[in-house]
A and B are shown apart, each in its own frame.
Chain A
Amino acid sequence: MEIIDVLGKPCPIPVIESKKALAKKDTSGVLVKVDNIVAVQNLEKMANGYGYGFSYVENSKDSYDVTISKDEKSPPTPNAAYNGLPVARRDAAHRGLIVVISRNTMGEGAEELGKILIKGFIYSLTELPVLPECLIFFNSGAYLTSDGSNTIDDLRKMEERGVEIFTCGTCVNYYGLQDKLAVGAITDMYGITEKMASASNIINI
């Protein structure tokens, strides 16, 4: 096991040095020497995020030995102060999950709030550990895939990662958005119905 002595080095140097060592093919793990508990916690976030094993020993108030192992998860350290979620590893788009968005707001109530919520919802989709297979937009949902929508960047991010994005052509014409489609492709009711019928899971907004 490679020993990384980063005593006296500020964050994020311990994380950077550990990642460099762990990136080597023949390294199964590292022993990182740091001088403060906060550096231990930052290493823990990294280890959790990559699904590595993590443990540490406190030698004294300014000396900690952190062990990070690549192959197996060590038992979690008691009293670990980390209170966040591990970062999910991203796989290809999830087969069978289809998200249908039929409006440009979310939920009943104030329109301003509804718009904030729908933007937050689409953003949250980009952060799912496994992305949906396909997003379908119809009725006023068509505004979300058109120029001027504040969710275009999030939708493009998903499209780049293999999520299919379709907007109802009839709806685009009805709202006069013909030249404004900014992401994904146009589909018709046959396309929408076919997708929905083949879905194993549908989220309906």
Chain B
Amino acid sequence: MNSLLDNCTSGGCGAKIGPGELSKLLTGLPGLVDENLIVGYDSCDDAGVYKFDEKYSIVTTADFFPPMVDDPLIFGRIAASNALSDIYAMGGKPLSALNLVCFPQSMDMGILREILTGGAEKIMEASAVLAGGHSIYDKEPKYGLAVTGIVENDKIIRNNTPEVGHKLILTKPLGTGIIMAALRGGVASADTVKKAVTSMERLNKYSAEKMRGFDIGACTDITGFGLLAHALEMASDKVSIVIYAGEIPYFVEAYQYAEEFLVTAAGQRNRNHLAGKADVSRLPFALQELLFDPQTSGGLLICVPPGQSADLLASIQTDDPVARVIGEIVKRGKDIISFV
């Protein structure tokens, strides 16, 4: 009863309710219309944006999930990085955070203290402050943050406004979902887990800071829906996306695990969601699985004019060397997402 993972049936962003189900749930909810709500949930964006005055908007988001690793300190860091990421994906700067905590009454409170320490470290790294939180007893532990950030009105970066010709940059390797699933199954090597953990703990702050000064067309962060579902949201009903299959950064071990069919339920739900929208049948099976793999605290997917992509990539790579140009935006065609 004192191991984090033993208490959980699914961890990390893989525990998210699937994108298809979610949009059904949200359709037709009663609510006021307020013109100051610049970005709401109708566009499936990363965070809500509410216009505060003529210069600034408030960015709000909340994210929490069950543990995907046994070490409470690491879990705290990953959950907080993941929650903060939505602010970065909107072009914003986090200001304050609230802890969201579910914890079993029978578990050692020292574990919770470690989780909160990990979270607090990341809030500090983000130059934000912890303002409070809410904690309840629950059968399974869960942790995350509600974050408030700020963004200049003319610097808001949406997830669904890419322009034809723009290049797509992905800043972190894919495969954390598969590696964590392999860990759960007791077949992941310690080295591999360490690599994935380092990636998940990493704030998207550093890549986001590099976006300043570039004419970013759109940005989102990759989470439990996997790369392709986020790409689909980015394309919305306006453009199509060509993905350079050979350029996708991923953990080699995740590719190997996928070849052994060590894949997640969330990955299969993502595959089902994308059926008919992205034809992956010509790609190797393992690469398909990586494209559907639910990412916890995944990287940013950034859309940038072609003339600026090399400079932005070089700048991002100084801190996040695995970042790659992984595709481009093209005119809306028969396929929303295709591969070369």
Contacts and interface: CB of A to CB of B under 8 A. Distances in A.
B130 interface: no
Contact of B261 (A49, A119, A127): A49
Interface in A110-130: 116-117, 119-120, 123-124, 127
Question: What is the interface residue range for chain B against chain A?
Answer: 20 to 34
Given A16-B187, A116-B244, A117-B340, A8 B9 contact: yes
Contact of A116 (B247, B263, B288): B247
B111 interface: no
Interface string B215-235: 000000000000000000000
Contact-residue size bin, chain A (C-beta under 8 Å from the other chain): 20 to 34
Nearest to A154: B246
Contacts of A120: 244-246, 340
A52 B247 CA distance: 32
A158 interface: no
Contact of A36 (B245, B259, B265): B265
Interface in B225-271: 244-247, 259-265, 268-269, 271
Contacts of B272: 38, 41, 81
B315 interface: no
B181 interface: yes
Interface in A81-125: 81, 83-87, 116-117, 119-120, 123-124
Given A10-B265, A13-B185, A81 B275 contact: yes
Given A11-B264, A42-B268, A45-B261, A84 B288 contact: yes
Interface of A: 8, 10-13, 15-16, 19, 36, 38-39, 41-42, 45-46, 49, 81, 83-87, 116-117, 119-120, 123-124, 127
3 tightest CB-CB pairs across the interface, nearest first?
A120-B246, A46-B261, A11-B265
5 contacts: A16-B262, A19-B260, A45-B261, A85-B282, A120-B244
